[in-house]
Structure 1
């Protein structure tokens, strides 16, 4: 009896083991089956579509630039894009953001590209990547690093050996990093753009495009979809596309959708229709009105595009901010402001707009919208006025600002010569003769790049500006010290003039005599401020200065404490500089976005302002204001107005 029980138990045990074994084998077979069916993304020329994992696929994407949004807000912005109904995002990779000096790479913090890609995938978004090497994007020098200009005669975006050598080295660093994130390797990247709107560039160098194609293939493999983007016109596609790259087009709400895609069909008779940049708004320039495109116009045009069965990327879905000195410029020279709001569906600060919901309603007609609430607008807080006091002028603080010390030269040197990428350089020389009457100090070859503040013996006398103000009158005795503070307002990012040297790029004259004997100081203002070097001993009190049209460039400082007892602080805010000129001397941007992550509740928040033209006080106390409302459409000075137009990049060539 005991033996029979043992036999039965043994039989049951063996059956259980067998069942477990079969289940494990079944699971292994499923895993093996999954592994034997690789992920894929490809162009189906026969069916005029993309295919993802063998099935017909269309993307509705939106542009977001990780380099314009603080890392702490990446998830919020991506979630809002996902909840709008997008199934993909598009982003650029700015070379100069990751390699500010040759061979020194940065991919951490706000520059952590791999984290951004993984976050997009975790949320459920595919990625269309545009790694350049040139990106345009209204970004300084179109994403190309300024140190390329150390080779003064370099032909950018061409087969120039010096340029190609630098590109090969950079892509040899970047592309292997991206390869694990390709869709076929388990990542979110479904396609990769080669170069950017190359058909709008004068070089028309097919060998350059072929070299890039071979370079991208060598690092990323043969499976990844490589594509180009150009304006929707045959004149752009002629030089912008080659056989081995899938050609796409870009156009905005004002375009004829049928004609635009007919242009793409000229380059690609078969394959999916793609608008890689459908403009939801437009860029701004200092001195021109804020660009606005109606929600109705965007929604109507988007519906027309989607009705054709085309793939589309909304440029921009969120614009963000050109923090620091990263803004670009266009030619004839017009610099772009700090805000890259773009009148996009999500504002610079990630706020929901009418345009967001209008676009969402259109997308809902073509694909299922994710269920659940849309993440709310990030709260803002008005911290109020902050008292400011004058710290030091640029000249007074020169030893603290110029870490590298003076450089002497017979003739003025450019920022590139001085290894100064951004910001400011102070140029000093002396008057060679006595000027008892106002005497013209001039830049006869338009060599002020971009704006210069001139003083003689510590008295501000005028401003020189690229293309506009090339002469100021000066007086003084022979040997009087002349100081010229030159500001780099952003390198040209589009067209034939991207070799944009900064500083005094040609000689200055006093009447007809060339000024020589220069001493130059590269200013490390950000480092000096962050290290607290500008507080120091305050100058003794003096009588208030007499009203003057200009003041010497000077620093002002103040601080504020975030109040206790208010929940959820700190919050985002905007700084408004009352009376101060700063970079907003002629509009349209009036406020600067201040994200909450740079504010502190544990210590005072220090505010430092560099005022270039006049004290930010007027007749009252010096203050700046922190407000909860942005002002991006302020008045513009009439003589600086320039109509850049909407959806017409070709006008900027």
Structure 2
């Protein structure tokens, strides 16, 4: 392109960005003066080599924010900080599993009020790029699918199977009732809606993708620009003819990915649907940080070229409770920690990192739009170690048993998360291998209440050598550490014991099964007596005023923590995560209650509040560190 023509084009784009930005100023309606369009016409259109919003060139500058990872009371704070960074939109996944925890039982209230989240985005001067799935990946348990789908062992997720299609259709139509009225053609903030999610990394069934496109339209989202999002290397597999295609890539891969996309779709504008400005952590692996200077350079170049860009993430937040997912690189199993800090511009507690301000400067310089002031973050708090003064053994809190001949999965027991216990008598006269053919995900094995071994799916462990003389009570306590959320492995991601349990050559049958979802944790039976093995412990602490903090879990072993009834997430002393984020809105002035489930025992550790997250070099569990007696 001749330089004078290129300069003219860039000047035109800068003026257009400024004009469009007027609609994004606080207190100005996003749709002032706009005419309602027919439901099948999107205000955002692909116009040759660029995007147009109501006939004017428009550049998406967005970032991912996920309502389920942010306490509802903090939604507006995070949205305002996203806008203050210079963003004109957010991208937002919708998590099917939190909204339909049981078939046809829907929850769009409180923390799950996604409609209100999008309304608040609009009120804060942000458009929305909606990502309804129904598969979302997102390092979220089963990629956002509700686990009850897998109770049907023939279920084929992400495929043209009637059972799956029926469930997905029911869900998408229900979601459409909630969110379709919020499209921009009807006065709402939604400009674009994603069809499926990175399907090219999963398969290449274009009939399935076409069906998904039609389902999105049937759900009522035909008033938005539809698009797909894939890595550039698999763009052909996951995209559809005539549907706008975005690309996903990480730090250092911008030039290659954009060139590859341009070769495949030369006449289409570039939309970087996910620019990974950080990464996530797995248990037992090093904490991830990324190159902020490289990200600054790449974002500057992409914006300068006129590309639309979405940062994944602008703020990661926390996979509270049991909601973390897992990866399966090289056919392994890598469960994610509860923190989804992601090394994002806003840290896990919503406070700006240095890269936030660097990105803010880049966006302002390239868009020529002055962002709103950055909101002031409330002060963090800390408090002394909380002694866990009372405990109760998990063995003393068991619900009534369900008898099964073969060990069922959690899904078979209508259980989604937590733990599940398999119990029977075991008779032996020597040593033999106790083997679980398919364990999901982590098991501790006990004889008469004493820990005799551990099996960890991360490490490919399927058996332990067990010495048994006479008859003893065998307990296998299995933790669902998070279902895989990526690639084809999701289709077999039931939790618990999925195959046979054998002792030597003997296949063990006749089990007492105890589903242990711990929602909520036990409230009775706590004493000051010592507690060994898996135990619940509790303590109270006083604070002068509520504020965000991080609970230091270094003195604990493996388990989960509740504060004032809120399940924060998981701790594990193998690292790299040594803290759990505790939102100040879940605290109260004066007395607060902390409960801990620790598989390593109760009443011996302490937890303190500190003003920053803590990470350490990961390590392995050992028989000595666990006190294995076998």
- Fold match by TM threshold 0.5: yes
Match of 2:618 among 626, 636, 640: 636
Query: 1:454 is matched with which residue?
Result: 445
8 Å CA contact 1:84, 1:369 repeated in 2 = no
Matches within 5 A, 1:154-553: 154-202=155-203, 204-220=204-220, 222-233=222-233, 236-257=234-255, 259-331=256-328, 332-370=332-370, 372-398=372-398, 402=399, 405-431=400-426, 433-435=427-429, 437-443=430-436, 445=437, 447-466=438-457, 467-499=459-491, 500-529=493-522, 532-535=523-526, 538=527, 541=529, 551-553=532-534
Mapped partners of 1:488, 1:244: distance in 2: 41
Match of 2:549 among 559, 573, 577: 573
SS of the equivalent of 1:434 reads: strand
Larger displacement relative to structure 2 (222-231 or 488-497)? 222-231
Mapped partners of 1:238, 1:305: distance in 2: 22
Query: 1:75 is matched with which residue?
Result: 76
8 Å CA contact 2:42, 2:222 repeated in 1 = no
Question: Aligned-pair distance for 1:616?
Answer: 6.6
Question: Aligned-pair distance for 1:355?
Answer: 0.5
Question: Aligned-pair distance for 1:319?
Answer: 0.2
Answering whether residue 537 of structure 2 is matched by residue 556 of structure 1, we say yes
CA offsets per residue over residues 311-338 of structure 1, 9 Å max, x none?
Answer: 0000000000000000000111010000
CA offsets per residue over residues 356-383 of structure 1, 9 Å max, x none?
Answer: 0110111011224445531123321111
Larger displacement relative to structure 2 (377-386 or 486-495)? 377-386
Query: 1:611 is matched with which residue?
Result: 598
Question: Aligned-pair distance for 1:638?
Answer: 6.2
Mapped partners of 2:286, 2:52: distance in 1: 43
Mapped partners of 1:34, 1:327: distance in 2: 41
Query: 2:585 is matched with which residue?
Result: 597
SS of the equivalent of 1:355 reads: helix
SS of the equivalent of 2:573 reads: coil
8 Å CA contact 1:318, 1:350 repeated in 2 = yes
Question: Aligned-pair distance for 1:223?
Answer: 3.8
Is the alpha carbon distance of 1:388 and 1:211 closer, same or farther for their aligned partners in structure 2, counting shifts above 3 Å? same
Mapped partners of 1:157, 1:173: distance in 2: 19
Mapped partners of 1:153, 1:639: distance in 2: 36
Is the alpha carbon distance of 1:372 and 1:463 closer, same or farther for their aligned partners in structure 2, counting shifts above 3 Å? same
8 Å CA contact 2:299, 2:362 repeated in 1 = yes
Question: Aligned-pair distance for 1:238?
Answer: 2.0
Is the alpha carbon distance of 1:34 and 1:149 closer, same or farther for their aligned partners in structure 2, counting shifts above 3 Å? closer
Larger Rg: 1
SS of the equivalent of 2:572 reads: coil
Is the alpha carbon distance of 1:80 and 1:32 closer, same or farther for their aligned partners in structure 2, counting shifts above 3 Å? closer
Question: Aligned-pair distance for 1:577?
Answer: 2.0
Mapped partners of 1:95, 1:189: distance in 2: 19
> Which runs of 5 or more structure 1 residues have no equivalent in the other structure?
1-30, 546-550, 564-568, 641-653
Mapped partners of 1:450, 1:408: distance in 2: 22
CA offsets per residue over residues 210-234 of structure 1, 9 Å max, x none?
Answer: 111112222325442100000022x
SS of the equivalent of 1:498 reads: helix
8 Å CA contact 1:241, 1:267 repeated in 2 = no
Mapped partners of 1:93, 1:241: distance in 2: 20
Is the alpha carbon distance of 1:174 and 1:474 closer, same or farther for their aligned partners in structure 2, counting shifts above 3 Å? same
Is the alpha carbon distance of 1:608 and 1:37 closer, same or farther for their aligned partners in structure 2, counting shifts above 3 Å? closer
Question: RMSD of aligned C-alpha atoms?
Answer: 2.1
Is the alpha carbon distance of 1:352 and 1:534 closer, same or farther for their aligned partners in structure 2, counting shifts above 3 Å? farther
8 Å CA contact 1:555, 1:608 repeated in 2 = yes
Is the alpha carbon distance of 1:507 and 1:638 closer, same or farther for their aligned partners in structure 2, counting shifts above 3 Å? closer
8 Å CA contact 2:536, 2:602 repeated in 1 = no
Query: 1:10 is matched with which residue?
Result: none
Is the alpha carbon distance of 1:613 and 1:638 closer, same or farther for their aligned partners in structure 2, counting shifts above 3 Å? closer
SS of the equivalent of 2:192 reads: strand
8 Å CA contact 2:37, 2:186 repeated in 1 = no
Mapped partners of 2:371, 2:263: distance in 1: 40
Mapped partners of 2:431, 2:360: distance in 1: 62
Mapped partners of 2:104, 2:224: distance in 1: 27
Answering whether residue 57 of structure 2 is matched by residue 43 of structure 1, we say no
**TM-score, normalised relative to structure 1:** 0.84
Query: 2:20 is matched with which residue?
Result: none
CA offsets per residue over residues 224-268 of structure 1, 9 Å max, x none?
Answer: 2100000022xx1121011142111111221142x3223323443
8 Å CA contact 1:454, 1:482 repeated in 2 = yes
Query: 1:16 is matched with which residue?
Result: none
Answering whether residue 574 of structure 2 is matched by residue 586 of structure 1, we say yes
Mapped partners of 2:419, 2:517: distance in 1: 8
Question: Aligned-pair distance for 1:390?
Answer: 4.3
**TM-score, normalised relative to structure 2:** 0.87
> Which runs of 5 or more structure 2 residues have no equivalent in the other structure?
1-30, 559-570, 623-630
SS of the equivalent of 1:527 reads: coil
